[in-house]
C-alpha cells in the first residue's frame, strides 16, 4: 500500500471514529428514550454515557475521541505522520484503558466503544505503516 492510500484510509477511519464519537456524545447529552446501543444489562453503551466511565478527569469521555479523531483527520490531510502517529498512539492507549474499565471492572460491552477501539487499532497500524515513507 502506498503513502497516498494509507492517508486515504486513515481519513476514512478518522471520519468513522468521529461518527461513532458523535453518536456517544449525542446519547450522553440527549439521553433519548430509544437507545439502539442498549441491548441488555451486559451489552450496552450506558456505562460510557452515564456510568463510571462517562467522564475521564472530569471531561465527557466521548470528547477525547472526538478531539483525537479530529486531530488524526487534520494530520492526515496535512500528511503529518508525526501528528497522526502521536494521536493514534494516545488514542490506542486511551481506548485500551476504557476497554479495560468496561470489560474487567464494569463487566459491560459497549458495541460503539468496541467499534471505536477496532477503528483506533486499524488507524494505529496504518500510522505505523507510514514510517516506511518517512523520507519521502
| Domains in the chain: boundaries | 3-50+61-133
Average pLDDT for 130-134: 81
Who contacts 125 (Cβ-Cβ below 8 Å, separation ≥6)?
none
| CATH superfamily of this structure's domain 3-50+61-133 | VKOR domain (1.20.1440.130)
User: pTM score, two decimals?
Assistant: 0.91
Q: What is the percent of the chain with per-residue pLDDT over 70, rounded to a whole number?
A: 99
Q: Does residue 136 register a pLDDT over 70?
A: no
Position 135 scores a pLDDT of 59
Q: What average pLDDT does the structure give for the chain?
A: 91
For 33-62, how does the pLDDT look when each residue is reduced to its tens digit (9 = 90+)? 777 788 888 898 887 788 888 898 999 999
- 62-103-45 Cα angle (round to 5): 40
Q: Are 6 and 123 in contact (CB under 8 A)?
A: no
Position 128 scores a pLDDT of 96
Q: Does residue 72 register a pLDDT over 90?
A: yes
Amino acid at each position: 500500500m502506498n503513502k497516498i492510500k494509507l492517508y486515504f484510509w486513515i481519513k476514512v477511519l478518522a471520519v468513522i471514529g468521529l461518527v461513532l464519537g458523535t453518536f456517544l456524545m449525542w446519547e450522553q447529552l440527549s439521553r433519548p428514550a430509544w437507545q439502539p446501543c442498549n441491548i441488555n444489562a451486559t451489552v450496552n453503551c450506558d456505562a460510557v454515557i452515564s456510568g463510571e466511565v462517562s467522564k475521564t478527569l472530569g471531561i465527557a469521555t466521548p470528547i477525547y475521541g472526538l478531539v483525537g479523531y479530529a486531530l488524526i483527520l487534520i494530520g492526515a490531510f496535512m500528511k503529518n505522520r508525526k501528528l497522526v502517529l502521536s494521536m493514534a498512539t494516545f488514542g490506542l492507549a486511551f481506548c485500551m484503558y476504557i476497554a479495560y474499565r468496561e470489560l474487567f471492572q464494569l463487566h459491560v460491552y459497549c458495541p460503539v466503544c468496541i467499534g471505536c477501539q477496532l477503528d483506533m487499532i486499524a488507524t494505529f497500524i496504518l500510522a505505523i505503516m507510514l514510517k516506511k515513507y518517512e523520507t519521502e
